[in-house]
Amino acid sequence: MGRALEYNLTTLRVSRAYVSLLSRPEGEAAAISLAWIGDYEIRMHAAPPTGAVKQPLFIVDIFDHDAQLCIDSRACYAVAEGAAAFDEFLRMHDKPPV
């Protein structure tokens, strides 16, 4: 698959998850799954309020279900940052998403 097409599909995946996140009732804390790679899950969460002038739109993380811990996370201020974080977490495990 061409790099431009991969970027567009990733951006679409992250955009749809963000719209879903925005559509949830206030206070619902469940993560939105973006992809599974074996025992690892790439997820999106609402960003907790920090009181900072510039708030992240959302958090993307990679969670190890076997160890029950978050391996890494990124605060994302734009959908493009979320797509980049998603791609980075995929490359960590070098497998196609499910």
25-39: per-residue pLDDT in tens?
877 778 999 999 999
Average pLDDT, stretch 82-88?
95
CA-derived radius of gyration, the chain: 13
At 7 the pLDDT is 67
The strands making up 58-64's β-sheet, listed across from edge to edge, are 32-37, 40-46, 58-64, 69-76
Q: Which helix or strand (DSSP H or E) is residue 46 part of?
A: strand 40-46
Q: List the domain range (segments joined by +) for residue 14.
A: 3-93
Residue 97 — pLDDT band, cuts 50, 70, 90? low
Q: How many CB atoms lie within 10 A of CB 10?
A: 22
At 2 the pLDDT is 65
Let me know if residue 40 belongs to a domain: yes
Average pLDDT, stretch 21-26?
88
Let me know if residue 60 belongs to a domain: yes
Residue 40 has pLDDT above 70, yes or no: yes
Let me know if residue 75 belongs to a domain: yes
Let me know if residue 98 belongs to a domain: no
- Tokens representing 64 are 């190890």
pTM of the model: 0.85
Let me know if residue 76 belongs to a domain: yes
Number of structural domains in the chain: 1
Let me know if residue 19 belongs to a domain: yes
